[in-house]
């Protein structure tokens, strides 16, 4: 298979958010992720494999530092705006690191959480680095971009409790954690915004066990998400 200059340009353009949104398309790379896309209910528009197009062409269309054996162009799905009324839900407030967001979506699937809410200023779901970090969970976890204060208020009205992670929060290991809850995670730099914090009925903290109180001031948000989700599932 020979790719024209126009085809290469069109694929490369999907590395930019503007063109992804205009065309409603994004790319996934790597044999595993391409297979995940093909097995999902997302529409796969095209698949390119090194064995078909050659290594030189793959080097020209890859978004990665090194070309992978396969790349697929996938159509974005229309957002499902239905908010859960039970179970565990993650809510991400102003997270802008694509690797962290992708890892948290992957964690969500691991812990049986099928919905992740994201504030409108979170990093874009279809950023190539976000997609790569999900390791395929992007195709199975429902992600909803929505103003969090309004969404949290609606979910509280349905009977769900809202917990946030705060430096001044209560020890998570001593807390009574419900089965139906929203877990809010803020950015490492700014934490949870005041507007969102007002909707958190419970404030949780993961205590440090560093000797003498020394050590880092905070945890990476994806690591904090893993510990928090694990505690909610363990004490269920």
The span from the CA of 87 to the CA of 196, in Å, is: 20
Predicted confidence (pLDDT) per residue in 153-206, tens digit = 999 999 999 999 998 999 999 999 999 999 999 988 889 999 999 999 999 999
Predicted confidence (pLDDT) per residue in 73-121, tens digit = 999 999 888 999 999 999 999 999 999 999 999 999 999 999 999 999 9
**All structural domains of the chain:** 5-75 (3.30.1330.30), 88-234 (3.40.1280.10)
Q: Is 171 strand, coil or helix?
A: strand
User: Phi/psi zone of residue 17: left (φ > 0), alpha (ψ -120 to 50 degrees), beta?
Assistant: alpha
pTM: predicted TM-score of the whole model, two decimal places: 0.93
pLDDT tops 80 at residue 19: yes
For residue 67, how many other CB atoms are within 10 A of its CB? 18
Interior angle at CA 97, CA 154 and CA 112, nearest 5: 50
Predicted confidence (pLDDT) per residue in 140-157, tens digit = 999 999 999 999 999 999
């Amino acid at each position: 298979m020979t790719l024209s200059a126009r085809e290469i340009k069109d694929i490369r353009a999907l590395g930019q958010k503007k063109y992804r949104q205009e065309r409603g398309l994004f790319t996934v790379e790597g044999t595993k992720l391409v297979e995940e896309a093909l097995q999902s209910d997302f529409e796969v528009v095209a698949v390119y494999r090194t064995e078909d197009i050659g290594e030189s062409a793959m080097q020209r269309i890859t978004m990665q530092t090194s070309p992978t054996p396969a790349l697929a162009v996938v159509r974005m799905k229309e957002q499902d705006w239905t908010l859960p009324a039970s179970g565990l839900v993650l809510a991400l407030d102003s997270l802008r690191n694509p690797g962290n967001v992708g890892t948290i979506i992957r964690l969500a699937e691991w812990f049986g959480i099928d919905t992740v809410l994201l504030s409108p200023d979170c990093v874009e779901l279809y950023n190539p680095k976000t997609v790569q970090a999900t390791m395929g969970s992007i195709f199975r976890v429902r992600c909803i971009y929505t103003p969090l204060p309004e969404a949290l208020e609606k979910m509280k009205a349905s009977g769900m409790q809202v917990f946030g992670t705060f430096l001044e929060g209560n020890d998570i290991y001593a807390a009574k954690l419900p089965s139906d809850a929203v877990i809010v995670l803020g950015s490492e730099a700014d934490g949870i915004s005041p507007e969102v914090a007002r909707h958190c009925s419970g404030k949780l903290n993961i205590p440090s066990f560093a000797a003498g109180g020394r050590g880092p001031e905070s945890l990476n948000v994806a690591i904090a998400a893993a510990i928090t989700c694990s505690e909610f599932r363990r004490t269920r």
